[in-house]
Structure 1
Amino acid sequence: MRIREIIIYSHAGDIRRISFQINGLNIITGSPSTGKSALSDIVEYCMGQSNFNIPEGPIRDKVAWYAVIYQFPSEQVLVAKPAPATNAASCSRAMIRRGASIDPPSFEDLLQNADDDTVVALLSELLGIPAPQTHVSKDQSRQSYRPTIKHTYYYLFQKQSLIANKEQLFYRQNEDYMQQTIKDTLPILLGVVPEDRMEIESKLRAAKRNLKIAQKQLADAQQFREQLDVRALGLLSEARHVGIFANAATLKTTEEVLFHLSEIARWKPAPVPDEDTWRIAELENEIAMIRKKRSTINETLRATQLFVQKEDGFTNEAQEQKSRLESIAAFPKKTESGKWQWPFAPKDFGLNTPIAKVLLQELLSLDQELKVVAGDRPNLEEFKQKIENELFEMNEQLRIKGEELASAIAANEAIAEMGSRNAAAARVVGRISLFLETYRPDDDLKSLQERVDDCASHVSRLEKAVGIDDSAERLASILNIISNRISLYVGKLDAEFAQYPFRLDLANMTVLIDRPDRPVPMINTGGGENHLAYHLATLLALHYYAANNNKPIPSFLFLDQPSQVYFPSEQIYKSVSGSVDETERDADLEKVRNLFLMLYRFATQEVSNFQIIIAEHANLRDEWFQKSVVEVPWTKPPALVPDEWEVR
Structure 2
Amino acid sequence: MKIKSIHIYGLDGRRRDVKFHDGLNVITGRSSTGKSALSDIIEYCMGRSTFNVPEGIIRDKVVWFAVIYRFIGEEVLVAKPAPSAGAQSLSTAMIRRGAKVDAPDLADMAVNDSDDGVVALLTQLLGIQENTTDVPLESSRLSFDANIKHSFYYLFQKQGLVTNKDQLFYRQNEPHQPQTIKDTLPILLGVSGRDKFTLESQLRIAQRDLRLNAKLLQQAREAIDNSEERAIGLVSEARAVEIPMGDGATNVVDLLRKALEWQPTPVSEDDGARISVIERDLLDLREQRREVQRRIESAQQFSKRSEGFEVEASEQRDRLKSIRALPINGETGEWQWPFARADLGMEMPIAKALLSELESLNDELTAVTGERPALAAYLSGQERELSEIADKIRVKEVELSSAISSSEMATTLGNRNTAASRVVGRISLFLEGLVPNTELIRLQTEERRLRARVADLEERLGADDSDTRLISTLSNIGLHMSGYISALGGEFAEFPARLDLHHLTMVIDRPGRPIYMSRTGGGENHLAYHLAALLSLHRFAGTYGHPIPRFLLIDQPSQVYFPSDASYEAAGGSVDETERQEDADLGAVRRLFETLQEFVSEHAPGFQLIVTEHANLREDWFQRSLVEPPWSKPPALVPDDWPDIPLQHQ
TM-score in terms of structure 2 length: 0.83
What secondary structure, in the 3-state scheme, does the structure 1 residue paired with 2:635 have? coil
Counterpart of 1:336 in structure 2 is 340
Q: Residue 297 of structure 1: CA displacement?
A: 1.4
Q: Residue 352 of structure 1 corresponds to which residue in structure 2?
A: 353
How far apart are 1:580 and its partner, in Å? 1.8
Alignment of 1:267-416 (within 5 A): 267=258, 272=263, 274-278=265-269, 281-282=270-271, 285-318=273-306, 320-321=308-309, 324=312, 327=316, 329-330=320-321, 332-333=325-326, 335-336=339-340, 349-350=350-351, 352=353, 378=377, 382=381, 385-386=384-385, 388-400=387-399, 402-403=401-402, 406=405
CA contact (8 A) 1:486 1:502 kept: yes
**Correspondence for 1:528 among 514, 518, 523:** 523
Comparing 86-95 with 357-366, greater Cα deviation is found at 357-366
Which residue matches 1:37? 36
Q: Which segment drifts farther, 502-511 or 238-247? A: 238-247
SS of 1:196's equivalent?
helix
Change beyond 3 A, Cα 1:392–1:211? same
Could you tell me how far 1:122 is from its partner in structure 2?
Answer: 2.4
Q: Which shifted more, 527-536 or 237-246?
A: 237-246
**Change beyond 3 A, Cα 1:409–1:528:** closer
Between the aligned partners of 2:466 and 2:362, the Cα distance in structure 1 is: 144
For 2:175, the equivalent position in structure 1 comes to 176
- Please say if residues 272 and 419 of structure 1, whose CA atoms lie closer than 8 Å, have aligned partners that are also in contact: no
CA gap of 1:97–1:340, structure 2 versus 1, over 3 A, is farther
Shift of 1:596: 1.2
Q: CA deviation at 1:419?
A: 9.4
- Tell me which residue corresponds to 2:610: 613
The alignment's C-alpha RMSD in Å is 4.2
Q: Using the alignment, how far apart are the partners of 2:369 and 2:569 within structure 1?
A: 154
* Structure 1 counterpart of 2:596: 599
C-alpha contact (below 8 Å) 1:261/1:432 kept by paired residues: no
Q: What are the residue-to-residue correspondences of 1:443-522 with 2, within 5 Å?
A: 452-522=447-517
Distance in 1, matches of 2:12 and 2:636, equals 18
Distance, in Å, in 1 between the alignment partners of 2:309 and 2:519 is 148
Contact 2:155 2:553 in 1 (8 A): yes
**Cα offset for 1:570?**
2.0
Identify the match of residue 574 of structure 2 among 574, 579, 587: 579
Which amino acid is the alignment partner of residue 274 of structure 1? T
SS of aligned partner of 1:186: helix
Aligned partner of 1:561 among 556, 561, 567:
556
1:438 alignment partner, one of 432, 436, 439: 436
Cα offset, 1:315, TM superposition: 4.2
Separation in 1, partners of 2:133, 2:543: 24
Deviations 1:301-356 (A, max 9, x none): 21222122213323443454466457364463564267999xxxxx9954627xx9
Q: How does 1:194-209 map to 2 (within 5 A)?
A: 194-209=193-208
Q: CA deviation at 1:611?
A: 0.8
* Secondary structure of the corresponding residue to residue 60 of structure 1: helix
Contact 2:477 2:536 survives alignment (8 Å):
yes
1:218 CA displacement: 7.6
Greater alpha carbon shift after TM alignment, 376-385 vs 539-548: 376-385
Q: Which residue of the other structure, out of 631, 635, 639, is the alignment partner of 1:642?
A: 639
Letter of the 1:291 partner, please give it: E
Mapped partners of 2:465, 2:18: distance in 1: 45
Query: 5+ unaligned residues in a row in structure 1: which ranges?
Result: 249-256, 342-346
Q: Distance in 2 between matches of 1:428 and 1:83?
A: 71
Measure the CA separation in 1 of the matches of 2:498 and 2:572.
37
Per-residue displacement from partner, 1:444-490 (whole Å, max 9, x unpaired)?
95x87765554433322211211112222221111111122211211
Indicate conservation of the 8 Å contact 2:49/2:115, yes or no.
yes
- Gap runs ≥5 in structure 2: 327-336, 646-650
Instruction: Tell me by how many angstroms 1:644 deviates.
Output: 0.6
- Report the counterpart of residue 111 of structure 1 in structure 2: 110
| Structure 2 letter corresponding to 1:539 | L
Partner of 2:17: 17
Amino acid at match of 2:301: G
| Structure 1 counterpart SS, 2:388 | helix
Contact 2:541-2:547 within 8 A present in 1 as well? yes
CA displacement 1:350-399 (0-9 Å, x = unmatched): 4627xx97897698689779978976875675466345424413422432
- Secondary structure of the 1:352 match is helix
Distance apart, 1:167 and its partner CA: 2.2
Q: 1:297 to 1:82 in 2, by over 3 A?
A: same
What is the alpha-carbon distance in structure 1 between the residues aligned to residue 380 and residue 274 of structure 2?
A: 31
Distance in 2 of aligned mates of 1:221 and 1:287: 57
CA distance in 2, matches of 1:556, 1:433: 68
